[in-house]
Chains A and B, each alone.
Chain A
Amino acid sequence: QLQLQESGPGLVKPSETLSLTCTVSGGSISSGNYYWGWIRQPPGKGLEWIGSIYYSGSTYYNPSLKSRVTISVDTSKNQFSLKLSSVTAADTAVFYCARTGANSFLDYWGQGTLVTVSS
């Protein structure tokens, strides 16, 4: 059974860079046919897609976040990562990683990790 697990600091200071890693187990990130994505959900609000990456390194980003987002992949560790720069309190959210089929539907999700932006 495929499993995804987010990891990273739960507290980030304003203007700093948020960094999270998603570790994939039960399957290979290099198996092809799937993108690997990040989604966030502010407390009490809806889902927002951040971006996704293919094992080759090809990426797609949310246009509204593109200037601050970098997603990378490490196939040797079966992990992919998110960096979100210049964070503010508005970036406080539960961050999820997920597998994306045909780069359109998210079929396996991590449990999510809450990241709070505060000094």
Chain B
Amino acid sequence: QAGLTQPPSVSKGLRQTATLTCTGNSNNVGNQGAAWLQQHQGHPPKLLSYRNNNRPSGISERFSASRSGNTASLTITGLQPEDEADYYCSAWDSSLSAVVFGGGTKLTVL
């Protein structure tokens, strides 16, 4: 059972903008923010952003993250076919002393 809530699926057209959401509470997302991971079928997840909008080296500027209260968001601009993947959010939960994940959002690029 996922600790954070993500919509199961989002569909957008090529070159459009997709915004994925991740809702937690004041013990996790609302506390230290969220990280976002991208996972293509058959591959390990890849970190896209952490602590709301820090991007690791090599991650495209088309990926940007933000947070408002207990909800984190990942915005992907100029959607490309290779952006079609599963996206997970994660956060440290201070009440559980554990990392919690969202259930994942499957992004389809039409």
Contact = CB atoms under 8 A, between A and B. Distances in A.
A binds B: yes
B47 A46 contact: no
A48 interface: yes
Nearest to A94: B44
A102 B50 CA distance: 10
B81 interface: no
A107 B103 CA distance: 19
Given A103-B92, A104-B32, A106-B90, A48 B101 contact: yes
Contacts of B104: 46-47
Contacts, number: 64
Main secondary structure of the interface of B (DSSP, over half): strand
Interface residues of A, number: 24
A52 interface: yes
Interface residues of B, number: 24
Given A47-B88, A47-B104, A106 B98 contact: no
Interface in A72-115: 96, 100-107, 109-112
Given A46-B103, A61-B98, A105 B47 contact: yes
Contact of B47 (A49, A52, A106): A106
B103 A106 contact: no
Interface string B33-67: 00101000000111100110000100000000000
A49 B90 CA distance: 10
A12 to B, nearest CB: 21
A106 B91 CA distance: 10
A106 B45 contact: yes
Q: Sorted from nearest, which 9 A-B pairs have the closest CB atoms?
A: A105-B50, A104-B92, A105-B35, A109-B44, A49-B99, A46-B104, A47-B101, A107-B47, A46-B103
23 contacts: A47-B88, A47-B104, A49-B100, A52-B99, A60-B97, A62-B98, A96-B44, A102-B32, A103-B99, A104-B91, A104-B92, A105-B47, A105-B51, A106-B35, A106-B37, A106-B90, A107-B47, A107-B50, A109-B44, A109-B46, A110-B44, A111-B44, A112-B44
